[in-house]
Amino acid sequence: MAGGLERQAGVARVWSAALAELAARAQSEDTLLAELEGMVELCDRSPELERLLASPAVDDEAKRRLVEKAFRGRASDLLVDALQVLRRKGRLGLLRAVARAFHEEWLRRHRRVEVHVTSAVPLTAALRAEVGRAAARRSGREPILVEKVDPKLLGGLVVAIGDEKFDGSVARELHRLERSLLARASSELHEGKSYFVENP
């Protein structure tokens, strides 16, 4: 099973690299990224559509017409043409994997990195900027912060840069951030504010 997933991811990376080249020539990388993310959201909202596109039991001509009717004129020709090529090759089932691989390729080409930050309380603008600077120093790339609040951390901070995950207790350069976050949480608790979610 794992081997099959790895092969699918490898195939998706090949497709995404080809798409990235085409998008770069057309100066539409950002547009295609947004459209692929939109396709994933559409599949989330309409799982039946995703099943139809991926099913080998559905007639290929029916899939061709569906793609044209649903997306031509509503999305870029590059995206629709890419969907039709995926269809002809029997690869529409890899749509999510291709979208994910294209996102990673876009980050690489633009020297950016997603930094997932989980904190006990929402980050202030100052802390957000400091996390960004620390992540930039550590990764050597421009960070894109993806924030999540988890009150169970009790004032802690967990940061994941790519596949690397670390927290304030092991990342020396983030110790100051954690102390600031703890001080803010303590101050707000004394003021009567609570970030803990109670069960109804």
Q: Could you tell me if 97 and 31 lie in one domain? A: yes
Domain that holds residue 116: 112-190
d(CA 171, CA 194): 27
> Would residue 143 count as lying in a domain?
yes
Q: Could you tell me if 7 and 102 lie in one domain? A: yes
Tens of pLDDT along 83-121?
999 999 999 999 999 999 999 999 999 999 999 998 888
Domain boundary among 108, 124, 150: 108
Report how far apart, in Å, the C-alpha atoms of 26 and of each of 31, 32, 76, 200 are: 10, 10, 11, 53
Token pair in block for residue 19: 């798409």
Residue 89 is which amino acid? K
d(CA 161, CA 89): 35
CATH number at residue 6: 1.10.520.20
Q: Tell me the angle at which helices 29-45 and 77-88 cross, rounded to the nearest 10 degrees.
A: 60
Tens of pLDDT along 170-192?
444 455 665 666 666 666 565 55
Q: Considering its fold, how many domains does the chain have in total?
A: 2
Domain boundary among 54, 73, 108: 108
